[in-house]
Amino acid sequence: SPAAVAVLGLGAMGSALAGALLDAGHRVTVWNRTPARAEPLAARGAAVAPTAEQALAAAPLAIVCLLDYASVREALDPAAGALAGRVLANLTNGTPEQARAMADWAARHGAAYLDGGIMATPSMIGGHASSVLYSGAPEAFEAHRAAFETFGEAVFLGPDPGAAPLNDLALLTGMYGMLGGFLHATALVGADGPSASEFTAERLIPWLSGMMQDLPEIARQIDTGDTPPAESNLAMQAAGYVNLIRASQAQGVRTDLIAPMGELLREAVARGRGDGDLAALHDLLTAPTG
């Protein structure tokens, strides 16, 4: 049966999380540093706590979604006395190290800890494409799974609190690589070319969708160390990449979003990997250079 949940932090994301819980029939108590942001949720049936401590005291599960870990500590330090025996689920973006330190801090105050990475924008929360990654106390996740599933798919990644933020940041890395490429590509086709909308819909999305099909094979080569003959060898790619930089400069488009990949290709060729494929770049990122 729907349980009591406290939501601390009513920015764009915290408000969406609280809204999803209300829609699912949970009894929701909310707190925000700036109280006015609680008004729309109060109108939908949420109880409003005047302090973070009173919010924590109102429910066995507290979901925290603030700007960053510094703001979480600032909000929770004065409220720590109310944490004992409760579950703290911190869905604020942070690093694995921050998550582990927060888990230790919560344990010192008697709370079970879950860290989370939200793989959705606020308007996606509760919809089909939304998922949230969790890691930390397994019993806490199981006990509150129903509440977590109101946000979207709830994925548990194991007891290390750092696992969810690590996966979250890795997914964001992939996203920003794609978005950086998208921004550069639309700048490069420029004023004389098709509109950004036309280029994106008719050229870029089909191209990227096709290229996406290559990722599992590259991943397999990274996992196995298998190096079949390259269909698109790195020496060829390094030579072509120079043109992409030159054309950008000629168009007056800054190259800082795309230049590092060219440097990595050049390094791979200089190290004798010119006949390799993209998987041959993997350990250049992970091995110390020298």
> How would you write the chain as a 3-class SS string?
CCCEEEEECCCHHHHHHHHHHHHCCCEEEEECCCHHHHHHHHHCCCEECCCHHHHHHCCCEEEECCCCHHHHHHHHHHHHHHCCCCEEEECCCCCHHHHHHHHHHHHHCCCEEEEEEEECCHHHCCCCCCEEEEEECHHHHHHCHHHHHCCCEEEECCCCCCHHHHHHHHHHHHHHHHHHHHHHHHHHHCCCCCCHHHHHHHHHHHHHHHHHCCHHHHHHHHHHCCCCCCCCCHHHHHHHHHHHHHHHHHCCCCCCCCHHHHHHHHHHHHCCCCCCCHHHHHHHHHCCCC
Stretch that binds ligand NDP, among 68-76, 201-209, 219-227, 261-269 (CB under 6 A): 68-76
As a whole number of angstroms, the distance between CA 73 and CA 165 comes to 17
Can residue 121 be called a binding residue for ligand NDP (CB under 6 A)?
A: yes
To ligand NDP, the closest distance from the beta carbon of 36 in angstroms equals: 8
Can residue 71 be called a binding residue for ligand NDP (CB under 6 A)?
A: yes
Of positions 29, 32, 90, 150, contacts ligand NDP by CB under 6 A: 32
Of positions 7, 9, 61, 184, contacts ligand NDP by CB under 6 A: 9
Residue nearest to ligand NDP (CB): 11
- Give the binding-site size for ligand NDP (rule: CB under 6 A): 21
Stretch that binds ligand NDP, among 30-38, 42-50, 126-134, 279-287 (CB under 6 A): 30-38
Stretch that binds ligand NDP, among 55-63, 116-124, 186-194, 210-218 (CB under 6 A): 116-124
Of positions 92, 98, 130, 233, contacts ligand NDP by CB under 6 A: 92
Can residue 179 be called a binding residue for ligand NDP (CB under 6 A)?
A: no
To ligand NDP, the closest distance from the beta carbon of 144 in angstroms equals: 19
Dig out the tokens for 259 from the structure. Answer: 């230049």
Can residue 172 be called a binding residue for ligand NDP (CB under 6 A)?
A: no
To ligand NDP, the closest distance from the beta carbon of 67 in angstroms equals: 4
Can residue 66 be called a binding residue for ligand NDP (CB under 6 A)?
A: yes
Stretch that binds ligand NDP, among 115-123, 138-146, 247-255, 263-271 (CB under 6 A): 115-123
Q: How many CB atoms lie within 10 A of CB 208?
A: 14
Between 51 and 249, CB nearer to ligand NDP: 51
Helix 96-108 × helix 69-76 angle, to 10°: 10
Q: How many CB atoms lie within 10 A of CB 108?
A: 10
Between 93 and 221, CB nearer to ligand NDP: 93
Can residue 96 be called a binding residue for ligand NDP (CB under 6 A)?
A: no
Dig out the tokens for 8 from the structure. Answer: 């601390």
Between 22 and 75, CB nearer to ligand NDP: 75
Can residue 33 be called a binding residue for ligand NDP (CB under 6 A)?
A: yes
Q: Name the residues that contact ligand NDP, by CB under 6 A.
A: 9-14, 32-34, 37, 65-67, 71, 74-75, 92-93, 118, 121-122
